[in-house]
Amino acid sequence: MAGQQPGAGPRPRHPPDHGTLTRSSAGRALCRSPRTSRWARTSSFSNPELVNLYGCTIGDECKIATFVEIQRGVVLGRRVKVEAFAFIPTGVTLEDGVFIGPHVCFTNDRYPAAVDASGELLGTSGSGDWEVGQTVVEAGASIGANATIVPGVRIGARAMVGAGSVVTKDVPPGALVVGNPARVLRERP
């Protein structure tokens, strides 16, 4: 294989340096490592060396593209597909069969700031100066390319978020939403 040392063998089919895999009672594969990410052996990563997983749980048969970051505490259900350059921070849950388009950005801080009124840096470990907003994307929903999802919203089952939309409020199940801010256009096709 090009770019490898002779005798190095094939590249791993799971993200590198994530420890050993064991099977959980729920049927998900568990990974023991400093990052403590868990993923199912049946999930695939288009280029494992270019995916950042930090303490997340990934269900069976998921497909994760290149340059995706999934942070601590995120849960992906079964058969979730995440396209390139998506950012999924702490506080996000993606239920079964969800599609996340390229460059989708979830946020988890409704009022982000770098420093407080006295100029002290916010967000230092254990500082407790901000709350993680929880976001849920229900089963079968689809989020188009370059959409931004603010924290604290629920995107209903089988809903569709149009490309480039900014979701600031809950999306009803089965709805198609578009725009900035995202508004219901009609039922999902």
Q: Which residues contact 173 (CB under 8 A, 6 or more apart)?
A: 138, 156, 157, 158, 159
85, 103 contact by CB (below 8 A): yes
Q: Residue 14 catalytic?
A: no
User: Among the options 18, 103, 108, 154, which is catalytic?
Assistant: 103
Q: What angle do CA 188, 43, 101 make, to 5 degrees?
A: 35
Find tokens 């230092």 and name the residue.
Answer: 124
Residues assigned a catalytic role: 103
